[in-house]
């Protein structure tokens, strides 16, 4: 928290630089803001790294005296992994080596960068006081709610415009996928497409069945996600519930996508019941936080 690594120039091969003594693990820990979390965040990328034992100096190169990170992977990255790579590069780009300077440690709490026990004690005391002003559970819930709602909105927007990196969409972008990789990760019976994954897959159908049962509805579901969205959000339950149903639809497709990724990339089981309970739990928290069920003021008689 208070200590940082000051990486300087290592363009000369004879340099006894700190940069030579760190491996990828250290590289992933460079972002001090996410201290301790960054390896967890980029755990998958760590496994995809072509050479985990390489030194930091091997993960980049000097271009006109500027350091450029150059990470190498075992295979072509999927969209989600590419997004994570961009995030990682932007996180580690805060570390900018300067050609010609010696490496060393910096005590961030001191303006001159030098460590002293007295200052360390003052820092610990200040941190303790700051912890007392930590956000309340309500604040955290509100923050979590805003973040999750935004994620669900983005997912729903991508689903409705067929912009999700489903297998059929990846193939359309000339990303090679063999027959096994192209299969739906939930049922392993059909090729994965937006309409299949979010609506027609037998496993997905069970999730929508549970949701309809929860709402006390039995309607025939359309075969396209776009028409399903329209009919689901206008289920004849009254205008006041439109907001809730829109949020529920967004939450469901977002959770379906997350579960699909868990199955595809982490080998997890589908578990319809668990998925449905998670959707319900998120919806209850949203209702509580955003008062989704509040009736909008109406001038109609
Ligand atoms: Zn399927």
Q: Are residues 93 and 204 in the same domain?
A: no
Quote the ligand 1 centre to 260 CA distance (angstroms): 10
Report the domain count for the chain. 2
Angle among Cα 268, 259, 50 to the nearest 5 degrees reads: 65
Q: Are residues 66 and 40 in the same domain?
A: yes
Q: Is the dihedral of CA 243, 246, 249, 255 positive or negative?
A: negative
Q: Are residues 194 and 75 in the same domain?
A: no
- pLDDT value at position 140? 53
Measured in whole angstroms, the distance separating CA 284 from the mean position of its chain's CA atoms is 22
101 vs 37, more confident:
101
pLDDT digits (tens, 9 = 90+) for 29-82: 443 444 345 555 676 777 788 877 777 777 788 887 777 888 888 888 888 788
Distance CA 60, CA 55 (A): 10
Of 31-40, 92-101, 191-200, highest mean pLDDT:
191-200
Q: Where are the alpha helices (DSSP H) in 192-241?
A: 194-195, 202-215, 225-232
Note whether residue 120 is domain-resident: yes
Quote the mean pLDDT of the chain.
75
Q: Are residues 14 and 108 in the same domain?
A: yes
Residue 235 is given by DSSP the state: S
Quote the ligand 1 centre to 79 CA distance (angstroms): 20
Q: Are residues 83 and 24 in the same domain?
A: yes
Q: Write out the H or E segment, with its range, that includes residue 144.
A: helix 137-160
134 burial level (CB within 10 Å; 0-12, 13-18, 19+): exposed
Note whether residue 298 is domain-resident: no
**Would you say 78 and 177 are in contact if contact means Cβ atoms under 8 Å apart?**
no
Quote the ligand 1 centre to 180 CA distance (angstroms): 13
Quote the ligand 1 centre to 200 CA distance (angstroms): 7
3-state class of 67 per DSSP? strand
Q: Are residues 12 and 118 in the same domain?
A: yes
Quote the ligand 1 centre to 239 CA distance (angstroms): 33
Q: Are residues 19 and 108 in the same domain?
A: yes
* Residue that finishes a domain, picked among 130, 156, 188: 130
Q: Are residues 111 and 177 in the same domain?
A: no
Q: Are residues 66 and 146 in the same domain?
A: no
User: Which residues fall inside 5 Å of ion ligand 1, going by CB?
Assistant: 184, 186-187, 201
104 is in which domain, residue-wise?
3-130
Helices (H) and strands (E) in the chain — how many of each?
12, 4
- pLDDT value at position 237? 63
Note whether residue 78 is domain-resident: yes
Quote the ligand 1 centre to 296 CA distance (angstroms): 38
Distance CA 160, CA 16 (A): 55
Distance CA 48, CA 97 (A): 25
Note whether residue 301 is domain-resident: no
Residues in the chain: 301
Q: Which residues of 187-213 are buried (b: 16+ CB within 10 A; e: fewer)?
A: beeeebbbbbbbbbbebbebbbebbee
CA atoms within 13 A on the CB side of 215: 21
pLDDT at residue 157 is higher than 50: yes
C-alpha dihedral (224, 229, 230, 235), degrees to nearest 10 = 120
Q: Write out the H or E segment, with its range, that includes residue 66.
A: strand 66-69
Quote the ligand 1 centre to 168 CA distance (angstroms): 13
pTM of the predicted structure, to 2 decimals: 0.53
- pLDDT value at position 300? 30
């Amino acid at each position: 928290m208070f200590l940082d690594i000051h990486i300087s120039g290592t363009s000369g091969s004879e340099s006894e630089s700190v940069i030579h003594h760190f491996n990828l693990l250290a590289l992933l820990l460079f972002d001090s803001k996410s201290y301790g979390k960054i390896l967890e965040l980029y755990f998958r990328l760590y496994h995809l790294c072509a050479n985990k034992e390489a030194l930091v100096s091997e993960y980049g190169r000097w271009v006109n005296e500027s350091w450029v990170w150059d990470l190498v992977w075992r295979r072509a990255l999927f969209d989600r992994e590419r997004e994570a790579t961009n995030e990682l590069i932007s996180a580690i780009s805060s570390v900018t080596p300067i050609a010609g300077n010696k490496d060393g440690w910096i005590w961030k709490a001191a303006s001159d960068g030098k460590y002293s026990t007295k200052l360390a004690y003052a820092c610990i005391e200040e941190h303790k006081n700051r912890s007392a002003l930590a956000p309340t559970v309500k604040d955290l819930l509100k923050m979590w709610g805003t973040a999750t709602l935004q994620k669900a909105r983005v997912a729903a927007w991508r689903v409705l415009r067929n912009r999700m990196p489903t297998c059929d969409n990846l193939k359309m972008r000339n990303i090679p996928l063999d027959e096994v990789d192209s299969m739906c990760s939930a049922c392993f019976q059909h090729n994965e497409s937006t309409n299949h994954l979010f609506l027609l897959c037998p496993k997905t159908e069970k999730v929508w069945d549970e949701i309809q049962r929860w709402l006390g509805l039995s309607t025939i579901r359309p075969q396209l996600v776009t028409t399903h969205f329209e009919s689901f959000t206008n289920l004849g339950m009254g205008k006041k519930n439109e907001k809730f149903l829109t949020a529920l639809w967004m939450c469901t497709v977002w959770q379906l996508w997350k579960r699909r990724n868990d199955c595809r990339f982490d080998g997890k089981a589908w578990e319809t019941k668990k998925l449905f309970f998670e959707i319900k739990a998120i919806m209850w928290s949203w209702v509580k936080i955003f008062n989704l069920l509040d009736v909008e003021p109406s001038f109609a008689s």
